[in-house]
Amino acid sequence: MKNLIVLLAMLSAVPANASTQLLSDIDAPSAVEYVEYTTVIQELRLVPVNAGINPRAFAYQLEADVILGSNPCQAQGTTVELVEALKDGVLEISAVKKVPVNLEERICTREYLPVVQTLKSEIRGFAGDIEAIVVKNVETAGVDFTIVVK
């Protein structure tokens, strides 16, 4: 009985919103920071498609496979996209991976079950405006795949 009275006295001293405040701190999503960097395209498929009746026009269907992570745990929260940049008549395409910074806080198994994402893009243009298409980092970092547009 004495323990019950002591417990009630302790609970009456705690503010009413303390328990909800602690729960809201636990449930609140933390701000996740990301690091962006170019990554290697494991497999590239570039297929010419119908560009229309204009003889100067060209079109390609691009599909690129990119590894998000070595296993589902490491790939969690990682995204990738194709980024196109036109510089001096050359269209440069690269895969940019966005990875959460908190990877070192994760505890993942060391199994190798790569998570692969296929990216698709359609490239259209005119031969006078674009002289070449360069896809960066194909199969190996630093190796580029170039198509000269005529």
Domain ranges in the chain? 32-148
Confidence of residue 25 (pLDDT cuts 50, 70, 90): very low
Kindly report, residue by residue over 48-95, the tens digit of the pLDDT. 999 889 888 999 999 999 999 999 988 998 999 999 999 999 999 999
Q: Does the predicted TM-score (pTM) go above 0.75?
A: no
3-state secondary structure the chain: CHHHHHHHHHHHHCCCCHHHHHHHHHHCCCCCCEEEEEECECEEEEEECCCCCCCCEEEEEEEEEEEEECCHHHHCCCEEEEEEEEECCEEEEEEEEEEEHHHHHCCCCCCCCCEEEEEEEEEEEECCCCCEEEECCECCCCCCEEEECC
